[in-house]
Amino acid sequence: MTARAVILATGMTPNRLGVLGEAELIGNGVSYFADNYGPTTHDKNVLVVGGDNSGLQAVQEVAPVAARVHVLTRGGWTGDPDRITAVQ
What is each CA distance from 62 to 18, 19, 21, 30, 54, in whole angstroms?
23, 22, 22, 14, 12
Q: Look at residue 46 and tell me whether its pLDDT is greater than 60.
A: yes
Number of domains in the chain: 1
Q: Look at residue 65 and tell me whether its pLDDT is greater than 80.
A: yes
Q: Read off the pLDDT of each residue in 29-56 and give the average, rounded to a whole number.
A: 76
* Whole-number pLDDT of residue 35: 56
Question: Which segment, 47-51, 66-70, 75-79, is predicted with the most confidence on average?
Answer: 66-70
State if pTM tops 0.95: no
pLDDT band for position 11 (cuts 50, 70, 90) = low
Between 20 and 34, the more confident residue is 20
* Whole-number pLDDT of residue 67: 92
Structural domain that includes position 56:
5-87
Residues 6+ apart with CB under 8 A from 2: none
* DSSP category for residue 59: H
Are 44 and 85 in contact by the 8 Å Cβ rule? The answer is no
